[in-house]
Structure 1
Amino acid sequence: MASGGLSNDVVGESSVLTHECGVFGCVATGEWPTELDVANTINLALIGLQHRGQECAGIVTGTGSPSDRFNDHRGMGLVSSVFDTHALSNLAGNLGVGHTRYSTQGKSEIKNCQPFVLENIHGQIAVAHNGELTNKNSLRKEVLERGVGLRTASDSEVIAQILCYPPEKREGRDWVERIKYLMRRAPLAYSLLIMHEGEIFALRDPFGNRPLCIGKLMTPVDENHVEGYVVSSESCVFQSIGAIMHREIAPGEIVSITKKGIASLDVVARPSNKPPALCIFEYVYFARPDSVIDGQMVYGARYRCGQQLGVESPIEADVVGAVPESSTPAAHGYAAQVGVPFVDVLAKNRYIGRTFIQPTKRLRQLAVAKKFGALRENVAGKRVVLVDDSIVRGNTMGPIVKMLRQGGAKEVHIRIASPPLKNACYMGINIPNTKELVANQLSVEGIAEIMGADSLAYLSLDGLVKSVRNGAWKTSFDKNASDNISNGNSGDKEVGHCVACLDGNYPVDLDW
């Protein structure tokens, strides 16, 4: 055992970061019933968002008629195993929302699978949520004190119940007022889709902690004809379903999507005019490299992080390699900056998905060997720089270094394209408590020693922020959204990021 209670055993999935979930919605245009296969479109999109959640998945569709009930199907496991031809055939509809989940609150069981469907006096709503509420305790108490029973421990169910509250001082179904009440009570963290009758409301929390973007689904035979509107946690799925990027949703913005089009309804201000707080680890690790966030491709941000890492921490070496796959762009950037060739040093078994905790020490130690193999001809006799995106518990890197040395590597130098993780996340990422974070317990030199590396260096916080922001541009809104912002309903359009897991400064006070 290393100091601080940290073991060099491999514990599988708990050694890496996992995101809570991904959301997707689709609304067909034109006359209903539509010929567009809404359910299969959502299914294909969820497969593209599988990296954001792998425990369970669900789809809810509707005709848009107040008299018709929603169709829904949920299941445990990967999207491809949850939705077969029979399941999709029972999800006919003109619009729908989908969700793929990794749990941070609530057990991994079917009752926590989203989208949640509730009924109030104005009919059914379906709610799909990405994120985690920072004031979940007070909101849960508020719901329970109103006499509402809760089936799950999920804060997403709390959101759904709050949306069923009657809007203050208003009559009827005013969904915008309901949503604004939720957003004022819960400043972060969420991207949220709410389906009611023939409309999907899409919104981001006022800090914009989770990404959300809108696309237009084009007809294959007529690229100028829009046959549907889609909204997604990430833009990477658009190409695979025949959609094009329209725009990102602004922090605090409420957007309505119907068969007639897209409308910006309002923008809720951030408390005390604080800056935006997009999770910076969307760029470092979570998002697919072909996604666009804050107007820039994630790949480019990761590449610049690698370049900056090369500026800050060069080392004499023969080759630069990456821990596949999210760190590969950073490794290319590092190699280009220091003038050392990039080569593949590890082969990844692409058929290994989630690696569960193994029951014995020997099996835990073999977990990395199941996922990676050293490319001996590329490392034998070489001084190797190994680039990774982050270190969490530090359980995986040690066996990888050992593997490279067994492959003949003369030296192994670790370079991490983000700063040391020292603090827990309370906004939807499963960063463990601080005592389990290796960077919180050991010095950089101590971490290098337990990993068996010749040296270890991290990208600085200033370097990370600069690398990410240098490629970002102020998000483009449609005219209504721009008017909402210019009228003072939100802060400015500045780019800003949450780095609380790195520096301990959280965007808001926590109610945990």
Structure 2
Amino acid sequence: MCGIFGCILASGVPPGCLASIANDSLTALQHRGTESSGLVGTSGKDNDHFDMVRGKGLVRDVFNEDVLKSTFNESIAILGHNRYSTAGMKDAINCVQPFVVHAVVGRVAIAHNGELVNVASKRSEILKRGVGLSTDTDSELIAQIISKAIADHVRSDNSELGDISKELETVMEEVDISYSLLVMTYDRIYAIRDRYGNRPLCIGTLRPGANALKNAQNGSGQSAPFGYIVASESCALPSFAKFDREVRPGEIVEITRTGIKERYRSARLPTPAFCIFEYVYFARSDSLFEGQQVHRVRRECGMRLAKEAHIDADIVSTVPDSATAASHGYAQKSGIPYEDVLYRNSYVGRSFIQPNTELRQSSITKKFGVLTQNVSGKRVVLVDDSIVRGNTMGIIVRLLKQHGAKEVHIRVASPPIVHPCFMGINIPDTKDLIAVNKSLEDIAAEFGADSVQYLSVQGLKESVQRGIEASKYPQVGHCMACLTGEYPVDPYDF
């Protein structure tokens, strides 16, 4: 779920503005990871020197304006990362990305989103080659695999020093799933998405406003690009950026100061397996995937849920914020009026991405206050986007009933999660999943709710696929392994 970001200035554009863009973009991706944040920059002149600021905590905790300006004032390219850990030592400072490795072509920086299914076999392979690993993160492992590929490749093709596209082709073909990667050498950035397209990645072009960079004009009198940007989600693109497209599954895109070009597309492309949980929970609602806005999908899920799991009630409400669109869809389709019942403290982070149960439960009581006048004496339909462990919903139901709610009916805008994830989401072993081996009545009783109903798998699938234009996306597929047990690759084969 990590957030990754990269940006490079166009030819002729002087350095000095990247630090501000990077800070804003990483802040826009804060919902994807709150444990640590990091930036690595290059001046484009020295293949053995990167400037770097990394630390534990939120973006605002790690960076300040003076540090950013002084560190990255000469940078023409920059790489960033927000960490949400599923593998590795959560508290170790050496787990903070981007990772930087010394390779035969100079330093290489890597930012990774995802989790390798075959991490055990790849780790053993690297260790047997005599390469030491300082963490147990698969992101460091990817960095070493790339470094190994560079060392193994006979550079007889007269390629430029910073060009490692051939080596990255080798890495893509031997590392299956799951990763979106940004790899930076001293003068370019590569954007890479695994062959299944499991994790998101998009590209945009930075264009100046009317009064910015007045001399950056092309022959037609239009503002020329002054940079190129790549990020996990389109919400991280600045307002003056143009969203170009998503990186395609199995594609390596090279971004230099002269533009963007595809360097490689794997010939072995399986059915895509884009993580459907990006639509359900992870992504920001204004982000674009597969040609549609996440908000539209969530609203559609709520409307489908109202058809599948109607209940007589006085009001519909939400567990803010990722379920808000679904709750409005439920209210619209059911004809039951919408009312806010919970106030969300925006200074408390997302509970799902807290690293342990105690912190998740603690954050719930800090995060929400109850709007008593909207709740008292009411039968409430409370719409949530998903329920994984279920250790926070009971707290919310108790809060509502303590403030006078007559009934609380839980409606979940995604299906029950009954299988673990091995590809980058902190969905634990099945013993920790509340929907495993429990009836809806059992779950309702555990929450203290009057009823619980989920959206069907088919309902979620149709809600997502309805807005995808077949002409632009002829091959569509989504990973729903946590819901169905059907994995893109067999995780038990490795």
SS at match of 2:298: helix
Counterpart in 2 of 1:406? 402
Q: Give the direction of change, closer, same or farther, for the CA distance of 1:121–1:366 in structure 2 (3 Å limit).
A: closer
Of 251, 264, 269, 1:253 maps to 251
Q: Distance in 2 between matches of 1:60 and 1:38?
A: 11
Greater mean deviation of Cα atoms: 251-260 or 142-151: 142-151
Greater mean deviation of Cα atoms: 363-372 or 150-159: 363-372
How many matched pairs? 472
1:365 Cα deviation after fit? 7.1
Say yes or no: does 1:81 pair with 2:61.
Answer: yes
Of 449, 458, 474, 1:462 maps to 458
SS at match of 1:440: coil
Q: Which has the higher contact order (CA 8 A, sep 6+)?
A: 1
1:474 Cα deviation after fit? 5.0
Q: Distance in 2 between matches of 1:303 and 1:418?
A: 12
Q: Distance in 1 between matches of 2:67 and 2:104?
A: 29
Counterpart in 1 of 2:234? 235
Of 300, 306, 310, 1:310 maps to 306
Q: Distance in 2 between matches of 1:348 and 1:53?
A: 19
1:169 Cα deviation after fit? 6.1
SS at match of 2:397: helix
1:364 Cα deviation after fit? 8.7
Find runs of 4+ consecutive structure 1 residues off by over 4 angstroms. 167-170, 354-360, 363-367
Q: Distance in 2 between matches of 1:259 and 1:202?
A: 14
Q: Give the direction of change, closer, same or farther, for the CA distance of 1:348–1:67 in structure 2 (3 Å limit).
A: closer
Q: Map of 1:28-43 to 2, 5 A cutoff?
A: 28-31=9-12, 34-43=14-23
Is contact 2:313-2:379 (8 Å) kept? yes
Counterpart in 2 of 1:225? 224
1:106 Cα deviation after fit? 1.0
TM-score computed with the length of structure 1 as normaliser = 0.88
Q: Map of 1:180-191 to 2, 5 A cutoff?
A: 180-191=169-180
Letter paired with 2:32: R
Is contact 1:63-1:95 (8 Å) kept? yes
Is contact 1:295-1:475 (8 Å) kept? no
Of 204, 218, 226, 1:215 maps to 204
Is contact 1:294-1:474 (8 Å) kept? no
CA-to-partner distance for each residue in 1:110-154, whole Å, 9 max, x for gaps?
101111111111111100000010111111112112221111111
Letter paired with 1:57: S
Q: Distance in 1 between matches of 2:227 and 2:471?
A: 23
Where in structure 2 are there 5+ consecutive unaligned residues? 213-221
Say yes or no: does 1:437 pair with 2:471.
Answer: no
Q: Distance in 2 between matches of 1:496 and 1:251?
A: 11
Letter paired with 2:35: E
Q: Give the direction of change, closer, same or farther, for the CA distance of 1:364–1:91 in structure 2 (3 Å limit).
A: closer
CA-to-partner distance for each residue in 1:397-453, whole Å, 9 max, x for gaps?
112112111222221111000000111111111011110100013111110111111
Is contact 1:206-1:269 (8 Å) kept? no
Q: Give the direction of change, closer, same or farther, for the CA distance of 1:97–1:493 in structure 2 (3 Å limit).
A: farther
Counterpart in 2 of 1:265? 263
Q: Distance in 1 between matches of 2:23 and 2:365?
A: 32
Q: Distance in 2 between matches of 1:359 and 1:395?
A: 8
Q: Distance in 1 between matches of 2:450 and 2:181?
A: 45
1:86 Cα deviation after fit? 3.1
TM-score computed with the length of structure 2 as normaliser = 0.91
Q: Distance in 1 between matches of 2:415 and 2:467?
A: 19
Say yes or no: does 1:294 pair with 2:290.
Answer: yes
Counterpart in 2 of 1:177? 166
SS at match of 2:464: helix
Is contact 2:319-2:383 (8 Å) kept? yes
Q: Give the direction of change, closer, same or farther, for the CA distance of 1:364–1:311 in structure 2 (3 Å limit).
A: closer
Greater mean deviation of Cα atoms: 364-373 or 144-153: 364-373
Q: Distance in 1 between matches of 2:355 and 2:32?
A: 20
Letter paired with 2:80: G
Is contact 1:498-1:507 (8 Å) kept? yes
Q: Distance in 2 between matches of 1:157 and 1:117?
A: 9
Letter paired with 2:64: D
Q: Distance in 1 between matches of 2:39 and 2:287?
A: 22
Q: Give the direction of change, closer, same or farther, for the CA distance of 1:367–1:290 in structure 2 (3 Å limit).
A: closer
Q: Distance in 2 between matches of 1:79 and 1:123?
A: 28
1:274 Cα deviation after fit? 2.9
Q: Distance in 1 between matches of 2:193 and 2:344?
A: 35
Q: Give the direction of change, closer, same or farther, for the CA distance of 1:248–1:84 in structure 2 (3 Å limit).
A: same
Counterpart in 1 of 2:42? 62
1:475 Cα deviation after fit? 8.5
Q: Distance in 2 between matches of 1:197 and 1:407?
A: 58
Q: Distance in 2 between matches of 1:286 and 1:331?
A: 17
Q: Map of 1:69-218 to 2, 5 A cutoff?
A: 69-88=49-68, 89-92=70-73, 93-108=75-90, 109-164=92-147, 165=149, 166=151, 171=156, 175-218=164-207
Is contact 1:188-1:206 (8 Å) kept? yes
Q: Give the direction of change, closer, same or farther, for the CA distance of 1:365–1:281 in structure 2 (3 Å limit).
A: closer
1:68 Cα deviation after fit? 5.4
1:264 Cα deviation after fit? 0.8
1:94 Cα deviation after fit? 0.5
Is contact 1:290-1:298 (8 Å) kept? yes
Q: Distance in 2 between matches of 1:433 and 1:181?
A: 33
1:262 Cα deviation after fit? 0.4
Q: Give the direction of change, closer, same or farther, for the CA distance of 1:368–1:96 in structure 2 (3 Å limit).
A: closer
Two-structure CA RMSD over aligned residues (Å): 2.1
Letter paired with 2:251: E
Greater mean deviation of Cα atoms: 379-388 or 164-173: 164-173
Counterpart in 1 of 2:486? 505
Letter paired with 1:248: E
Where in structure 1 are there 5+ consecutive unaligned residues? 1-18, 477-491
Q: Distance in 2 between matches of 1:457 and 1:267?
A: 42
Q: Distance in 2 between matches of 1:328 and 1:422?
A: 24
CA-to-partner distance for each residue in 1:29-69, whole Å, 9 max, x for gaps?
0226x244112211111011001011111101001124551
Q: Distance in 2 between matches of 1:130 and 1:52?
A: 10
Counterpart in 1 of 2:216? none
